[in-house]
Amino acid sequence: MLTDRFNRIHDYLRISLTDKCNLRCSYCNPPDLLKDHFKGLRRMTAQEIDQIVCAFVKEGVKKIRLTGGEPLVRKDTPEIIERLSKYPVEVAISTNGVLLHNYVDIFTKAGIRSINVSLDSLKREKFFAITKRDEFNLILNNIYLLLQNDFRVKINVVVMKGVNDDELNDFVSLTKHLPLHVRFIEFMPFSGNAWSREKVFSYQEMLHHISTKYQFMKLEDSQHDTDKKYLVPGHEGAFAIISTMTQPFCGRCNRMRLTADGKMKNCLFSKTEMDILSALRKGNDIIPLIKQCVWMKEEKLGGQIKTMYGELDTTKINNRSMIHIGG
């Protein structure tokens, strides 16, 4: 079992398959970011991912989420999914939805039932302004396609003040007749993503905004949930808020991350990384490194965000951009 100094058990691994993406959201994939993709030998192969997962599963991992970049752009993603389906773990995917129509059968065959789709606007023009790609209609159709095929679908919305904070109730109204779980995410700071506290639309502001149109009730959250769930009575779906900035949930964190270039991070905001891939390639046992990385985990937000978010100085945060870490 992978346990840290604060007795938190870690059984959930998020693997970034690539740092490439077919959208260009500047909060995740900043325009002036050095486009130094993990190509060729720098990136974990399907076989290496399989070997690394095998070690994590031996140490008690029960859930794996494939993410990126955009995990579905990688050509051998079907092979990776097939390899992971042989492990006794739940496999889930986070995707921007652009390529989902190619994957319904692959997911079904591998027993994947839960898909998170990112969608920051329900307006085609605004979606284009955020992502620089005209893929809104395709993504919406792909969300319907997943629902028709009985997948559990969560929609991730990064809420930014002055950008899409006026659309929260449109997303909530989507849950009236569709069994969707919409999750509103507070905007987080990463390298080069022009974060500022003025752009954060906080958990409390979101609840207040939604209360101007809907009455809602709190749902019970499970032990490791990062989202705080709510239901509008009579709606088929639900909504939730991920309050990383104003009410972090580190006390119940069970997550570890592996970047596409094979570095392990014990927290989204961790300063340090453990080079698992190089050790694997040298033929070393990677389990002691994995254990050490978990053990060194800081109590809260990678030890980097100690003040209230309003006083945060992002120039002092040492981290990669989200697209390089894997969301």
Q: Which of 18, 77, 95, 270 touches ligand SAM (CB under 6 A)?
A: 95
Tally of residues, the chain: 327
Counting other chains too, the contacts that 279-283 makes at CB distance below 8 Å and 24 or more residues apart are 280/48, 280/51, 280/52, 281/48
User: Tokens in use for 292?
Assistant: 């050490």
- Confirm or reject binding of residue 202 to ligand SAM (CB under 6 A): no
Q: Does 96 bind ligand SAM (CB under 6 A)?
A: yes
What does the alpha-carbon distance between residue 57 and residue 219 come to, in Å, rounded to a whole number? Answer: 31
Q: Is 81 in the site for ligand SAM (CB under 6 A)?
A: no
Cβ at position 89, least distance to ligand SAM in Å: 19
Binding residues for ligand SAM restricted to 39-78, rule: CB under 6 A? 67-68, 70
The smaller minimum CB distance to ligand SAM, of residues 89 and 322, is found at 322
Residue 175 or 193: the one with the smaller Cβ distance to ligand SAM is 193
Query: Residue number with the shortest CB distance to ligand SAM?
Result: 327
Kindly determine how many residues on this chain lie close enough to bind ligand SAM according to the rule CB under 6 A.
Answer: 19
Q: Does residue 21 interact with ligand SAM by CB under 6 A?
A: yes
Q: Which of 28, 206, 210, 232 binds ligand SAM (CB under 6 A)?
A: 28
How far, CA to CA in Å, does 161 sit from each of 21, 39, 194, 200, 327? 24, 35, 13, 6, 21
How many Cβ atoms from other residues are within 10 Å of residue 47's Cβ? 12
Which C-beta is closer to ligand SAM: that of 173 or that of 321? 321
Amino acid identity for residue 131 in this structure = T
Are 289 and 261 spatial neighbours (Cβ–Cβ below 8 Å)?
A: no
Closest C-alpha to 289, from 67, 281, 86? 281
Scanning the chain, the segments in alpha helix (DSSP H) are 46-58, 77-84, 104-110, 124-131, 136-148, 168-174, 203-211, 276-281, 287-295, 322-325
Stretch of 5-13, 129-137, 173-181, 185-193 lying at the interface with ligand SAM (CB under 6 A) = 185-193
Q: Give min distance, CB of 327 to ligand SAM, in A.
A: 2
Binding to ligand SAM by CB under 6 A, coded x per residue (else -) over 144-163, reads ------------x-x-----
Which of 12, 56, 190, 214 binds ligand SAM (CB under 6 A)? It is 190
- Do 194 and 26 form a contact (C-beta atoms < 8 A)? yes
Bridge partner residues of 153 (DSSP): 115
Q: Does 175 engage in binding with ligand SAM (CB under 6 A)?
A: no
Phi, psi of 145 (to 5 degrees): -60, -40
Residue 217 CB neighbours (<10 A): 10
**If binding is defined by CB under 6 A, does position 216 make contact with ligand SAM?**
no
Footprint on this chain of ligand SAM (rule: CB under 6 A): 21, 27-28, 67-68, 70, 94-96, 118, 156, 158, 185, 187-188, 190, 193, 322, 327
